[in-house]
Amino acid sequence: MTDRQSRYFVPGPTWVRPEILAEMTRPMMGHRSAEFREVFRRVKGDLKSLFRTTQDAFVSTSSGTGVLEGALLNVVPRRVLVTTCGAFSERWKTIAEQTGVEVDHLDHPWGEAIDPERLATHFAGRRHHYDAVTITHNETSTGVMNDLRALVEVIHAETSDTLILVDAVSSLGSAPILFDEWGIDVCIASTQKGLALPPGLAVFAVSERALAAAKKKPYRGTYFDFLEYKRQGDNDGAPFTPSIPHYFALEKQLDHILREETLDERWERHRKMRDMTLERTAGYAELMSDRTHASVSVSALRPTKRDAQTILSEMRARGFVLGGGYGRWKEESFRIGHMGDISLVALSAMLDVLEEAAQ
């Protein structure tokens, strides 16, 4: 496998460019040193640009799941509404139940997107106040990208004091998220998907009203206490010893995303990758999920001519790694991750090979 061009098309951890991996070998520095605070400051500023926010953005040395738990611990004292349409949106439910709060859920079948009208109806008919509602922007298990903007609009129309928590683990950097303009309260992403870094870090934006809610909540835990992230972050510091190599890689990659490629171009490239994938696989595979909400970063496909497991192993024999189907869809489907820094050229070359392998 050459490193220079991805042959690796799973829905995360995605392929990482060698120049980004190389950043991780910079010599160690202390995380309380002046030189690290410089790195921190640049990352903080660029993260805010990435989230399109003038509020706060932070970095956690953990997977995204840790910060999902943190968001609930910080802002949900009593009751949360979880919207689901696949395995990852359902995880919010499990995590929320563990925190001991009351969990309502608005479930959609696998493969469908969350319906803004059903959400509006649910809110209009609700019997309780919700501290927060959770939305999974991109449902990695089914390849559905929810219409985050429309969902957020519905919630704002129906309530003024329910916070909006967004899992953007597999969408940040791949699709537009306008944190301030849309009015999101906590938005969480991992680095090994749309940002095309190695796993090991999560990034998140937090609104002022989310921080105000956290101040009223006595138990927020320690490691994911957002107020501690805020207190230290205002002084260009991390609350706990961070993964310094990941910070180096993140600093370099944010500069690339914002100034070399630009966010608009990056989003456009992801749309093209999605369109190319759907068009070029149409002859031998069906999209498992709602076509009008087909994700720009991952496609779940049911092959019609050969079975999914055979295709995966044929591709592996040709040096390409694709994603398997997820959970209940494991046997009948496979997934193509087209996210992060994968180029249209690399995707096209892989689709050439897949065309042979799939029929």
Interaction site with a copy of itself (CB under 8 A): 1, 3, 8, 10, 12-16, 18, 21-22, 24-25, 27-31, 33, 61-66, 69, 94-95, 98-100, 190, 192, 198-201, 219-225, 240-246, 321, 323
Contact 280/355 with Cβ under 8 angstroms?
Answer: yes
Shortest reach from residue 121's CB to a copy of itself, in Å: 30
* Residues 37-64: b if buried by 16+ CB within 10 A, e if exposed: eebbebbbebbbebbbbebbbbbbbbbb
Nearer to a copy of itself, 53 or 61 (CB): 61
What is the side-by-side strand order in the sheet with 298-303?
A: 8-9, 321-324, 334-337, 298-303, 285-287
Q: What is the DSSP letter of 256?
A: I
Shortest reach from residue 180's CB to a copy of itself, in Å: 28
Contact 68/89 with Cβ under 8 angstroms?
Answer: no
Nearer to a copy of itself, 3 or 331 (CB): 3
Nearer to a copy of itself, 259 or 328 (CB): 328
> In the chain, how long is the greatest CA-to-CA distance?
60
3-class secondary structure, 163: strand
Rounded to whole angstroms, what are the CA distances from 263 to 20, 257, 271, 314, 345?
A: 18, 6, 12, 35, 19
Nearer to a copy of itself, 160 or 222 (CB): 222
Shortest reach from residue 191's CB to a copy of itself, in Å: 10
Nearer to a copy of itself, 18 or 283 (CB): 18
Nearer to a copy of itself, 53 or 170 (CB): 170
The amino acid that residue 13 corresponds to is P
Shortest reach from residue 259's CB to a copy of itself, in Å: 24
Task: Return d(Cα 185, Cα 250) in angstroms, integer.
Answer: 23
How many other C-beta atoms can be found within 10 angstroms of the C-beta atom of residue 341? 22
Contact 85/109 with Cβ under 8 angstroms?
Answer: yes
Task: Return d(Cα 277, Cα 296) in angstroms, integer.
Answer: 10
Shortest reach from residue 199's CB to a copy of itself, in Å: 5
Shortest reach from residue 209's CB to a copy of itself, in Å: 23
Shortest reach from residue 159's CB to a copy of itself, in Å: 26
Shortest reach from residue 62's CB to a copy of itself, in Å: 5
Shortest reach from residue 155's CB to a copy of itself, in Å: 24
How many other C-beta atoms can be found within 10 angstroms of the C-beta atom of residue 180? 14
Closest CA to 16 of 195, 190, 172, 140: 195
Task: Return d(Cα 233, Cα 93) in angstroms, integer.
Answer: 29
Nearer to a copy of itself, 62 or 333 (CB): 62
Nearer to a copy of itself, 155 or 206 (CB): 206
Nearer to a copy of itself, 303 or 337 (CB): 337
